[in-house]
Amino acid sequence: MEYAQILQNMSLEEIRAVVEILQKSSDSYIYIFDLDTDTFMMTSRMQVRFPFEEDVIRNATAALQKVIYPSDYNKVREDIVRCTSGEQEFHAIEYRWMDRDNRIVWISSKSTVIRGAGGHRLLVGRVTELGKEAKADNITGLRREIRFQYDAEEILRDRPETIRYMMRIGIDNFKEINEKEGPEAGDNVLRELADCIVAAVDPKVDVYRLMADEFIIVDAFSAAEVDVQAIYNEIRNNVAETVRNKEYSCFYTVSAGVMQDGFESRSAEEILKLTEFALNQAKRNGKNQMALFDREAYDGYLRRLNIRRLMRQDINDNFRGFQVFFQPIISTKDYTLIGAEALLRWGCEQYGNVSPAVFIPILEESGLIIPVGKYVMWQAARTCRKWREIIPHFHVNVNLSYVQMHKSDLIEDVERCIKEVGIPPESLVLELTESGYIETDSRIKSLFKDLKEKNIDLALDDFGTGYSNMRYLKEIQATTVKIDRSFVVQALKNDHDYNIINHIIDMVHSLGFSVCMEGIEEEDELNKMMETKPDMIQGYFFGKPSPADQFEEQFLHTTSFL
Ligand code: C2E
Ligand code: MG
Ligand code: MG
């Protein structure tokens, strides 16, 4: 009997049952389109992927119009009309659909016109996503990411509890290999590493190559708990041996990020994100090692991302949520107010007031410190102008981030600010935290020179916390050294540190710089530290950072702070 005839004797439901079975072993989406009744029947997998309301659609032409990319619609329609009219017996066309997220998906649709029950003309065929064709990797011989997504999706849906672990592996210096040794050497390394990984796991465990230089192992097979560290060690040893055998012609190491639980109700895409986070953690920890996925660290990372998003919104909303506080700086000569440090504050509904120790690094990483830094400078300059009407020599200190020096026109910004606000340059002090940059970066050095020529003072902030180096003082042409509270706390605890701080202050003075001591909280701290003869003091003892209006009320008219 002819196949066509068999089909004519089958009900549509029977044909659909066969199609659903076939769908299980195909990555394409199989469909039946009854041209005579305008009914489109698809497999459930197709309906999950594309925005069809049901898997049987009675008014197919209209429903397809919603899924087909608008400018492709006429082309497709004409082709189907030719099938309906009997002009052609075969439908084969590549065009675009829209998926459930409204993203464009290139597909190839192929089908044949056959006669079904009651003599209806049926188009029976399949839709294949063209972007998913490259399922195997010719370099490593492994399956590719798209295959991982198919397989993982299925395991995650049907039996997540069987997953022992997923390990994502990356080469620590792949970019360097490609750049220095050429792409062919890079391909060789990928091949070698694929072998090293495959050799370390049971043949039944799946290994896939992800994009670039990354691989993922999926063990949903082993019966008992698996020692993931041992597996990683074996891969690492295999790599080291390969490198040795090749006489170090190309040196590389590998890191890994591992998930062992928490697979339930996650998508393959999420798993890729989480394992990527773990892998990056291993690299951040120093590379050539393995890291387990750390839920808490990941939550912290998501929180920082969220804070960044919220701050960006606030910046675009005229710096809503940001505020500049001021903390008094007192002269030790006569205990009068001579200036203030501008300190940034930020808060939001979700997290309340967030510490600068948390949000400043986020602003720096994202470059958002550039607009925010300008905002602080302008607020500080305007406030300073106002307060100079009461204290003529009042100055305001503004903290500066290295990102602002590297990536913005700092000199221009500062000049425009003091000119437009109308304050003399010497009333603005820029505070800079010491760091290794200064020594190496010639652009930054010339920037210091420019600032000096423009009469803008620099203060070296947080002295004593890390990179304390007397030579910097000259390099950055600073006028003031700010001694950090942690140094003060140490000095109050033991004589040795006290002597050090005493000597440092002497030395700073003899080099012609002045000293501001930060973080004096109590009277006995003040008394003890005054013996070291600082020129200025900033600390809770004299006043906490406060909003401008409060500062005015509390400090601006105080004649002596003792
Ligand atoms: P910093 O520049 O060293 O500022 C001094 C910090 O010490 C401030 O912390 C201040 O509130 C705190 N402090 C002052 N006196 C005392 C005291 O007696 N005891 C104690 N325990 N702490 C005291 P804050 O406001 O939390 O700022 C932290 C850091 O955030 C600042 O350290 C600065 O590095 C950064 N920062 C603040 N505002 C800005 C800004 O506008 N731009 C940039 N780039 N960084 C900023
Ligand atoms: Mg400071
Ligand atoms: Mg400081």
Residue 399 alpha carbon to ligand 3 centre in Å: 9
State yes or no: pLDDT of 483 exceeds 80: yes
Work out the average pLDDT over 377-405: 96
Strands, E, within 278-318: which ranges?
Answer: 290-292
Nearest CA owner, ligand 1 atom 28: 356
For 112-144, the pLDDT digits (tens) are 998 877 778 889 999 998 776 666 677 888 888
List Cβ<8 Å contacts ≥24 apart for 416-424. 417/374, 417/377, 417/378, 417/381, 418/381, 421/378, 421/381, 421/382, 421/384, 421/385, 422/385, 423/381, 423/384, 423/385, 423/388, 424/455
Return d(Cα 206, Cα 208) in angstroms, integer.
7
pLDDT at 9 over 90: no
- Best residue among 413, 518, 540 to mutate for probing ligand 1, ranked by most atoms within 8 Å of CB: 518
pLDDT computed for residue 437 by the predictor: 65
Residue 517's alpha-carbon distances to 208, 421, 466, 493, 529, in angstroms, are 58, 29, 16, 16, 9
Of these ranges, 100-109, 291-300, 471-480, the one predicted with the greatest mean pLDDT is 291-300
State residue 467's pLDDT score: 62
Residue 355: DSSP 8-state:
P
Which pLDDT score is estimated for 133? 61
Closest C-alpha to ligand 1, atom 13: 519
Instruction: Give pLDDT, residue 422.
Output: 97
Choose between 473 and 168: higher pLDDT. Answer: 168
* Mean pLDDT confidence for 148-153: 90
Nearest atom of ligand 1 to the alpha carbon of 520 = 18
The residue whose C-alpha atom lies closest to atom 35 belonging to ligand 1 is: 356
Residue 218's DSSP bridge partners are: 166, 206
User: Distance, CA 456 to ligand 2 centroid (Å)?
Assistant: 16
* pLDDT, the chain, mean: 91
Give the pLDDT score at 371. 97
Q: How many whole angstroms from 546 Cα to the centroid of ligand 2? A: 15
Q: How many whole angstroms separate alpha carbon 242 and alpha carbon 535?
A: 63
pLDDT at 292 over 80: yes
Given this model, what pLDDT does residue 132 score? 67
Ligand in nearest proximity to the CA of 483:
3
The pTM of the full predicted model, rounded to 2 decimals, is 0.75
Kindly report which listed range (128-137, 142-151, 338-347, 387-396) carries the lowest average pLDDT score: 128-137
Position 304 pLDDT exceeds 60 = yes
The average pLDDT across 338-358 equals: 97
Closest CA relative to residue 431, chosen from 412, 408, 451, 407: 451
pLDDT bracket for residue 223 (50, 70, 90) = confident
Q: Ligand 2 is a single-atom ion; what residues have CB below 5 A from it?
A: 399, 431, 461
What is the average pLDDT across 80-107?
Answer: 89
> How many Å lie between the centroid of ligand 1 and the Cα of residue 343?
6
Ligand lying nearest the CA atom of residue 487: 3
Mutate to test the pocket of ligand 1, among 323, 343, 403 (most ligand atoms within 8 A of CB): 343
Higher-confidence position of 181 and 392: 392
pLDDT at 127: 93
pLDDT of residue 71: 86
Mean pLDDT of 108-112: 92
pLDDT at position 251 over 80: yes
Name the band, by pLDDT with cuts 50, 70 and 90, for residue 473: confident
| Nearest-ligand number for the alpha carbon of 519 | 1
Query: Residues lining ligand 1, judged by CB closer than 6 Å?
Result: 327, 343-344, 356-357, 360, 369, 373, 376, 399-401, 431, 461-462, 485, 518-521, 538-540, 545
- Average pLDDT (270-278) is 97
Q: What percent of the chain has pLDDT over 90?
A: 67
Percent of the chain scoring above 70 in pLDDT: 97
Atom 46 of ligand 1: nearest residue by CA position: 399
